[in-house]
Amino acid sequence: MAEMYIRIAEEENEEPMEIPSEDDGTVLLSTVAAQFPGACGLRYRSPVSQCMRGVRLVDGILHAPENGWGNLVYVVNYPKGRKMDEIDASSATKIKRGDQKTSDLIVLGLPWKTSEQDLKDYFSTFGEVIMVQVKRDVKTGNSKGFGFVRFTEWESQGKVISQRHMIDGRWCDCKLPNSKQGPDEPMRSRKVFVGRCTEDMTADELRQFFMQFGEVTDVFIPKPFRAFAFVTFADDQVAASLCGEDLIIKGISVHISNAEPKHNNTRQMMERAGRFGNGFGVGGFGERPKLMDI
């Protein structure tokens, strides 16, 4: 018997897909579900009554109507409630995207020579830029090494935040200023600390390994080697889900933890003071830092 196809669509007015029938003219529900996951049956509009009719289903086998399958278009049935859930989810996504507005992003680590035009030329490759600014000293007019950029589209902003940027030969970071984060919108880290690494682990190997959990935007291994690495994900939730885990890479157990942001001023001051020998004096740094004037 020649193979016969019947026309099936997810919705009545959509373009149908042809599904093969079995030798006896029936159609397996599994064949339909292979093309329309979650399908639980078929229905069609009667040419006579113009009402929707269900196709008989017995033990996973769909049987043709009395006059055969014909050239009718059969519509997929889904379990009750599934379609409404999808509509609600789709609507919620559209509403959420519509509410998302862009913010001023701070660009850290700018080279002294970078101008507003340089910034605009660079960031315009990600989308339409509506504002750029390089912060400068009021008296000298020299750059302070950071600036701001703002995009028209929220998607462009997301792309920029998810990666590091090489601007005028220097790596720069672009992020939301802490002041833009409300109490219900904490600054979440997309970076994790990978401890107990071995020297034979390369950045490419770490990238390939962690890509199984989500999109990886950056891998950093300090040089000289210090037995740890940093991995940055596009999604902060992926990073959060891995913290505290022990994972096996190349037969070695590594530990994943939070990558602490470098904003601890006290620690930085102590490290700086330590370079002068005796550290803090009675009046904070004491007299030792004056050696810098020599």
Class of domain 105-175: alpha beta
Radius of gyration in angstroms for the set of CA atoms belonging to the chain, rounded to a whole number: 30
User: Of the candidates 100, 150, 99, 143, which has an alpha carbon nearest to the alpha carbon of residue 124?
Assistant: 150
Specify the long-range contacts of residues 131-135, CB closer than 8 Å, at least 24 apart: 131/104, 134/110
Tokens (6 digits) for 253: 């157990």
CA angle, residues 121, 179, 166, in degrees to nearest 5: 30
**179-223 confidence digits (pLDDT tens):** 444 444 444 578 899 999 999 999 999 999 998 888 888 999 999
**244-293 confidence digits (pLDDT tens):** 888 899 989 999 998 865 444 444 434 443 443 444 333 343 333 333 33
**72-109 confidence digits (pLDDT tens):** 999 998 876 555 455 455 544 444 444 467 778 888 88
pLDDT at 12 exceeding the cut of 60:
yes
- Mean pLDDT of all residues belonging to the chain: 78
Q: Can you give the pLDDT at residue 83? A: 53
Instruction: Tell whether domain 191-258 is in CATH 3.30.70.330.
Output: yes
Q: Are 253 and 206 in contact (CB under 8 A)?
A: no
Q: Can you give the pLDDT at residue 245? A: 87
Tokens (6 digits) for 83: 């379609």
Q: Can you give the pLDDT at residue 17? A: 87
Q: What is the mean pLDDT of residues 8-16?
A: 86
| End-to-end alpha carbon distance in the chain | 99
Q: Can you give the pLDDT at residue 100? A: 60
In angstroms, the CA 219 to CA 154 distance is 25
